[in-house]
Copies of this chain bind each other. A is one copy, B any other.
Amino acid sequence: MVSPNHRGIFSMLLSFWLLASPVLAIWPQPSSISTGESTLWIKSGLSVSYNGKNGGVGRAMNNIIHKNFVPWMLYNRMELEATEPSLFKPKTYITHLDITQTGKDSSKTFKPLAGEVDESYTLNVDKRGKASITAVSSTGVLRALETFSQLFYQHSKGAYFYTTSAPVKITDKPEYDHRGILFDVSRSFFPMESIMRTIDAMSYNKMNRIHIHMTDSQSWPLEIPALPELHEKGAYARGKTYSPSDLATIQRYAVNRGIQPIIEIDTPGHFGIVALSHPELVAGWDSTPWTSYCAEPPCGQIRLNEPKVDPFLDTLMEDLLPRLSPYSAYFHTGGDEVNFNMYSLDPSVGTNDSAVIVPLLQKFIDKHHARVRKTGLVPMVWEEIPADYNITIGKDVVIQSWLGDEAIASLTADGHKVITSNYNYWYLDCGRGQWLNFAGADLETYYPFGDWCTPYKNWRLVYSYDPRANLTAKQAKLVLGGELAAWSESIDDATIDDILWPRASAAGEVLWSSPKGRAQIEAAPRLATFREFMIARGVKSATVHMPYCTQGLNQTACQYL
């Protein structure tokens, strides 16, 4: 279906639309799909067989029957009632859903390193109402069930659900192994529902990694039983914390949806908040003017030459990591934006000279990564550690890059595995202006108060990104995937859905389907349809465009001409 030739797609869509029903619009685009023009109905109580098990069947049926929508915005204007399938003609129902899992799940299925789980599947729905899924792993079954749930719309007359595209034949598998969202619960506190709603939405997009940026200089919401003073002094308020049981709830909720939770405790930068309970561990807490010492207030980094740091990190990691390893293959050690000036304020370092700092940082990283590996986890780091500070790290380490294409080219040339959060495309907090306030002469200097990574990353821009652009085949293989970053200096529960969706969906398709050609014209109607599934399921996604552009024949009208 995916073609770089938009004129071809235009006429193809047009011919579909003359049938006056919505085309089948699966998001992200499957590797291969063929559809027909027969109508099938579905209701609860169909016969399901599955030689394995997971919660996917119940959730898919619940989404079809209880969280569906009447697609008035997909039919031609005012033609829904006249052209949707008649309730008064004989109906063919889906009678069977047969699920065959051809492989055996292992613990790696639920906490895979990149490439360790097979997410492929096939889905067939024949004209007589027999649906079948095959997949190697239970994760593949989950992906198939998500696709299955996107086949059906609700009828305008009530609780009747149909597809007009039977028979359907789909074979599908992801292009990238790491398809994630970075969720920052430290700058703003997010209630559990917010995280779980995001996990649900990610599963609709077939995404498979939720990277939780758990702590930062602004707050420490994570309860560490061995070090309760961390949250008692460092959370924003009582109750604005994640208990061990909350963490386990998030982990299980994610894993049950084929999503691996990856926890980040950022070190040695972005660590200021620990000064409130352990001042001896932190250099330059809340230094001013903060612009001289860190990227945003309040400043604070781990001291690099202070003997109390190692025992503290030992205690922290011995408490936390064994609670992560049952659900995760990775632990993110942070490593971004370490400010060398700050170490002039650290009496045990006393200089900003990199000749002094880098060897100390090397020692710090070596020890810290050893802690992570000891628990069977693979360390992740931000790219500055190897790229800017020249620290030597293991080839097992996955590097999260955010500074753009050149950084990825150079890291992969060195043989490192990377995931990309290229800020030019995938930083979702960008382009909405400053969250800092300005006074005095700065009011004029910084007018009109744009942020550092403007412009806003519209879904079309998100969608235009190719994580493997201009890489050799060998380098490309080292790009495991990517993550959309939702840094939360200016985002909280009230608006997180709008920030993430449908923009993260666009990236979800880049990572699942690798749509070469990046054809907005082909993608827009499908994304607009999928957006309505998200809305119906309680995710307050922004629009793709107005209903004028989504209705029937108009689906290609909103093109710049």
Residue of A6, A237, A491, A492 ringed by the most chain B CB atoms within 10 A? A237
A 271-308 contacts with B by CB, 8 A = 276, 288-291, 297-298
Interface of chain A, main secondary structure: loop
Across-interface contacts of A549 in B (CB, < 8 A): 435
Instruction: Say which one of A15-23, A45-53, A72-80, A160-168 lies at the interface with B.
Output: A72-80
Residue ID in chain B nearest A286 by CB atoms: B557
Residue ID in chain B nearest A494 by CB atoms: B540
Asked whether B542 lies within 8 Å of A494 as measured between CB atoms, the reply is yes
Copies in the complex: 2
Asked whether A488 lies within 8 Å of B546 as measured between CB atoms, the reply is yes
Asked whether B435 lies within 8 Å of A72 as measured between CB atoms, the reply is no
Asked whether B498 lies within 8 Å of A238 as measured between CB atoms, the reply is no
**A536-561 vs B: 1/0 string, CB under 8 Å?**
00001111111111010000011111
Q: Please, how many angstroms separate the alpha-carbon atoms of A461 and B240 in the complex? A: 32
Across-interface contacts of A557 in B (CB, < 8 A): 297-298
Asked whether A458 lies within 8 Å of B443 as measured between CB atoms, the reply is no
Asked whether B433 lies within 8 Å of A543 as measured between CB atoms, the reply is no
Asked if A116 is at the interface of the complex by the 8 Å CB criterion, the answer is no
Across-interface contacts of A447 in B (CB, < 8 A): 461, 464
Asked whether A456 lies within 8 Å of B433 as measured between CB atoms, the reply is yes
**A430-459 vs B: 1/0 string, CB under 8 Å?**
011111111110110011111000111111
**18 further A-B pairs in the complex, CB-CB below 8 A; given A77-B276, A492-B543, A492-B546:** A6-B440, A72-B237, A72-B239, A73-B236, A78-B238, A188-B543, A219-B548, A236-B551, A431-B431, A431-B455, A433-B458, A433-B459, A433-B461, A439-B521, A455-B455, A494-B497, A495-B540, A495-B543
- What is the interface of chain A, defined by CB distance below 8 A to chain B? 6, 72-73, 75, 77-78, 80-81, 156, 187-189, 218-219, 232-240, 276, 288-291, 297-298, 431-440, 442-443, 446-450, 454-461, 464, 488-492, 494-495, 497-498, 518-521, 524, 535, 540-549, 551, 557-561
